[in-house]
Amino acid sequence: MKKNKKIKYFILLYVCFSFDAISQERVKIEDLLNKIWKLDTENLAPKYKYENYEQFVFFEKNIRYHANYYPKDKETFKGSLQEVEYHFLSDSVMNIFISKEYDNDSLIIKFFNDIQNKSFLRDTLSLDFTNKMMSANIIHIKREGFKIIDAHLYTYDFYNENIFIQYGYGWTPGQPQSGLVYSSVNSIPAEIIKKIKELRRKRLKTILVPKSNLFNTPNVATKMYLVKGNEIEILEKKSEWLKIRYYGKKIVEGWIKKSDVE
């Protein structure tokens, strides 16, 4: 009798686990971050500091870039990007760091300079879209050679696919209590587009046909199209289709036929 109860218990656990796994829709965070983000300065203080300041952020493989832009200045963009290495942390590791034991960045730097702890720096992360809010624990790192010389902890809270709020912790400088809000944008200054293209040169292709129709999804056409000579960035490949991004006056994403660039 006891044996039958135990079998039923494990069957129930298996069914619950299987249902939970099926019901969760997960996405890789690098796919989520692969956009151009703009800092919302509307509610940041002091106002004078941000009245002539815009910040654009984009992510490559474990490198976060940001560009400072000054729309009222004669030289709106200085031509350089600031960059920082970033990795993801599990909840359990993050909880250790935000405890009293690790109450400043120097202790975190020391922890990750220990070769035994390198494996805690994750290069990727999957987020569950069935949650109302998705959170990612992130560490920003600067190095000299292989040695970490600076590190700060953050949480990125995603309320939807196009907005995240960056929270820093008590010993992280420059972070308002309300967090920094970043929204994805489809219009950015030409000077910054040029810089992004330089970094992503290997992913750029040129349209070779007179007219390349743009699709929302493979086989679902839009009224938009690209023309011969347009330069596009390849985001994803699927059989005879390419998911692309075009940097024009507005950033446009969609699908084109692979044959249009080959």
Domain count, the chain: 2
Q: 173 Cβ partners below 8 Å, 6+ apart?
A: 152
Average pLDDT over residues 214-218: 94
Residue 181 has pLDDT above 70, yes or no: yes
| 174 and 54, same domain (yes or no) | yes
User: Looking at the domain assignment, is residue 1 inside a domain?
Assistant: no
Residue 17 in domain: no
Is the residue at 12 inside a domain?
no
Bigger pLDDT: 228 vs 4: 228
Decide if 143 is inside a domain.
yes
Specify the pLDDT at position 219: 86
If asked whether residues 211 and 165 sit together in one domain, one would say no
Q: Is the pLDDT of residue 9 over 70?
A: no
Query: Residue 20's pLDDT band (boundaries 50, 70, 90)?
Result: very low
**Per-residue confidence (pLDDT) for residue 43, from 0 to 100:** 86
- Tell me whether residue 22 is in a domain: no
State the residue range of the domain holding 85.
29-187
Please confirm whether the linkage preceding 46 is cis (ω < 30° from 0).
Answer: yes
Among the listed residues 150, 180, 138, the one whose alpha carbon sits nearest the alpha carbon of residue 42: 180
Cα–Cα distance measured from residue 166 to residue 154, given in angstroms and rounded to the nearest whole number: 7
What does the pLDDT look like over 65-76, one tens digit per residue? 999 999 999 999
Q: The domain spanning residue 213 has which CATH number?
A: 2.30.30
- Residue 186 pLDDT greater than 80, yes or no: yes
